[in-house]
Structure 1
Amino acid sequence: MADIMEVDITSLGAQGDGVGEYDGTPVFVPFSMPGDRVRAKVLETRRNGLYCDLVEILTPSRVRQEPACVHFGACGGCQLQFFGDDTYENWVRERALMALRQHGFDDVLVLEPAISPKSSRRRVALKALKTAAGVVLGFNERQSHRIINADMCPVTRVELTTLFTPLRDLLGPILSQRMAATVHMTLTASGIDMLIEAPKALDLADRERLSDFANEHDIAALHWQEQGFLDPVAIRREPVMNFAGARVLLPPASFVQATDEGELALTAAVVDACKGLGRVADLFCGIGTFTFPLAREHQVLAAEGAKRPLDALSAAANIADGFKQIIPRHRDLFRRPLTADELKIFDAVVFDPPRAGASAQVAEIAKSGVSRVVAVSCNPNTFSRDARTLVDGGYMLESVLPVDQFLWSPHLELVGVFTRRL
């Protein structure tokens, strides 16, 4: 078989690669789309086809558009920028359908996707490296640890991108030669929460630089983390997230939804699915993204295995007004899932696990008889696996909402609503 081939791209794969065929074998080509004719170089042969590099676009698709970012093609993110809006929306829906079909869901109602717009990402993790020429700061190259020195990012909030250059100037005198760092930034309701991870203990001059930076750029909180030790260098305001009117103090670099728009879409779907029901169990609740909106109308059990997020939720619940009872519970739901007997007192269960899904917990939910289950997932594949467990256990999957908070990428969140069959 030829190392370099010409291929007509006819469809898209699960990771957004263009898919064509050569001598009856599927060919996967990144940065291509249906309607393209491309020249591609074979890199790897796998059981399901040939994986290639794009050499040249011979004839572009008529719906191909100019990428929005100067770093497109090198940066490992946003690899689908050349999709037009309609093509991209169709792809997002198809991404959900592909995962569902793999687990036997061929006729599920997949709703119109909720796609976050450009310049909406409110949290980022930047890689930094001190070199002889200065600090390189940005995102990793595609399939590489090399860092793209980014001076813009079209999907990220401008409040964060304007700090890219000042951060290079800040880290230059602090980092040693060839020292790497990671900068976590989250835009909260009270300002930017920043945590810098690097293998260095701070001296007095470093602290002064960091403190001056926080004051100059109005950073709410700046922490330095070295070998697991968290150093609160400058706390000018407590970073706060607002969930349905509850003000939750954000632990440094804690997980929040990537965009305001995505959080709103997810929350609305969860709350709507539980409307009219009684007690709700919110499993893998984090700092309370769904707990507080649900608690406007429901008594909520909020279960979480990580202590810091649950402590933040508990503290906010103790002082928040206008909510029904919130019962925080510290529990490792992977090792000790809530049992079917424990779940029987609830009218609805909401669960939002990490990417690996929640197979042990879902097995208990499937046996519980709870009338309504709402599954939120950042991994369509494990979502579909867990959905199969629920359906095989007596539930009906009513609908799936795709929520895209990572514009121009294959990363996708899903909200599935399940009802117990009578």
Structure 2
Amino acid sequence: MRVTIESLGAKGDGIAQGARGQHYLPFTLPGEVVETEADESLVGHDFTLVEASPERRDAACPHFGDCGGCDLQHASDDLYHDFKRGLVVRALEREGIEAAVAPLVTCRPRSRRRVTLTAAKAGNRVVLGYNAARTNRVVAIETCPIAHPAIERALPFLRRLSSLLIDRKRPLKLAVTVTGAGLDVAVSDAALLSEKLRQPAVTMALEAGIARLSLGSEIIVKARPPLVDFSGIAVELPPGAFLQAVEGTEDAMADLVMGHLSGGKRVADLFSGCGTFSLRLSRRVAVHAVESDAAALAAQDRAHRAASGLKPLSTERRDLFRRPIPAKEMKGFDGVLFDPPRAGAEGVSRELAASAVKRVAAVSCNPVTLARDLKILLAGGYRLVSVTPLDQFLWSRHVEAVALLERG
């Protein structure tokens, strides 16, 4: 079947019109002519490129097309940036929201400081890498142009560690984070760590210069505290804790939030994590940080106590999906920030819509749920000040966004 690619879909794959409807072809670009066979789902996995787009580029990684981590290394920068911004634009349009969406805040290759790798048994050897697209097969990687160089340099050590700790019945997960003290490695789904394995794991980590190695919530060895810097405030991350993937993107998001919320006296940071925004905000205003993860709250509380010259920071452990803060309890806040997981903050948005809070900053990793939440806030009397898309998952279909709102 010969088709012409008309556009890019939300997953970064090319969309073509065929006899049975729309066909989805990964790794193609608008304007390209391809020959393919599609399965019953109308997704074509193999194709012959008959006519290439002038926007096509050579991929930066030899694993591209097999590894499932990147979707768009074959696209020019302009096309790629327009695609990312377009995800936010179209999500807002589907909810009937008219907004001027800013240009995409970009990120550089080799800037991602947090990755999750998978190790799996393949016969008598262990392969370490990322899952192939749409499968559970692990693609062994030798290089990764999105990852921080410190992570790429550690790949040989991580393979050896995986071979030591892997459970023979299931894949191993390794969350690897670049910190100011070195790499923090948090392993999950490992075999039970016997005394016979513990000392080799400790020795291996120390010889590789790893700051901390943990297995689940248990710290196996900590050579140095794995500290990250939130605008001059040092935080020791709990094992496996969430951290924005690219430091430069985090700084850009924080600048938007700070500029919008730091003019009041007291703000709430909902889904606050380890204090990415709350600690920065506490330089200028009193902050109430709300989060369901006790370890994350404790980490930001310790960091706040150790720093000097900050405004008061209070913390509350609360499941904001099940128990959003009621509108009547928000009357003491001049502003509210929320940064939820991909499911969004629907309950929080409904309470905010019924509140008198003057300013809201919505940070999101999912344009679809962000648009839903913004629609609720707009119906409650807020107006959009700005919407800014940001990139931190380079060459993927994932995009961040910060929306700023105010009443009246």
TM-score by length of 1: 0.93
Q: Aligned runs of 1:3-402 on 2, under 5 Å?
A: 5-23=1-19, 25-45=21-41, 50-105=42-97, 107-175=98-166, 177=168, 179-225=170-216, 230-402=217-389
Segment of structure 1 superposing worse, 295-304 or 177-186: 177-186
Deviation of 1:383 (Å): 0.4
Identity %: 39
1:14–1:98: 8 Å Cα contact kept in structure 2? Answer: no
Residues 367 and 102 (structure 1 numbering): CA distance in 2 closer, same or farther, change over 3 Å?
same
Rounded Cα–Cα distance in structure 1 between residues aligned with 2:190 and 2:163:
15
CA contact (8 A) 2:273 2:297 kept: yes
The one-letter code sitting in structure 2 at the alignment partner of 1:342 is E
1:31-65 residue CA offsets vs partner (Å, 9 max, x unmatched) = 111121111322234xxxx4333411110101100
Q: Deviations over 1:297-333 (max 9, x none)?
A: 1111111111110111111122211211111112221
Partners of 2:5 and 2:30 within 8 A in 1? yes
Tell me, yes or no, if the aligned pair for 1:126 and 1:183 is still in contact at 8 Å: yes
Alignment-mate amino acid for residue 183 of structure 1: L
What is the CA–CA distance in structure 2 between the aligned matches of 1:231 and 1:398, rounded to whole Å?
Answer: 44
Counterpart residue identity of residue 133, structure 2: R
- CA deviation after TM superposition for structure 1 residue 172, in Å: 2.5
Task: State the 1:278 CA deviation.
Answer: 2.6
1:23 CA drift (Å): 4.5
Of residues 118-127 and 238-247 in structure 1, the stretch that sits farther from structure 2 once superposed is 238-247
**Distance in 2 (alpha carbons) for counterparts of 1:357 and 1:116:** 24
Give how far 1:176 is off: 5.6
**SS at 2:373 equivalent:** helix
C-alpha separation in 1, matches of 2:330 and 2:218: 40
User: Could you tell me how far apart the structure 2 residues matched to 1:337 and 1:173 are?
Assistant: 44
CA distance in 1, matches of 2:173, 2:236: 22
Aligned residues: 408
Instruction: Describe the SS at the equivalent of 2:192.
Output: coil
The letter of the residue matching 2:172 is: A
- 2:109 partner amino acid: K
The 3-state SS of whatever aligns with 2:43 is strand
Letter in 1 for 2:353: A
1:131·1:177 contact (CA, 8 Å) conserved in 2?
A: no
C-alpha RMSD of matched pairs (Å): 1.6
SS of residue paired to 2:55: coil
* TM-score normalised according to structure 2 size: 0.96
Native 8 Å contact 2:32 2:49 kept in 1: yes
- Structure with bigger strand share is 1
1:69-98 CA-partner distances (Å, limit 9, x unpaired): 111111111110001111111111111111
Which ranges in structure 2 are unaligned for 5 or more consecutive residues?
Answer: none
* Preserved CA contact (<8 Å) 2:70 2:394: yes
Contact 1:38 1:54 in 2 (8 A): no
CA distance 1:244–1:199, change in 2 (3 Å): closer
Secondary structure of 1:10's partner?
Answer: strand
| Alignment gaps of 5+ in structure 1 | none
Helix, strand or coil at the partner of 2:211 = strand
Q: Secondary structure at the match of 1:148?
A: strand
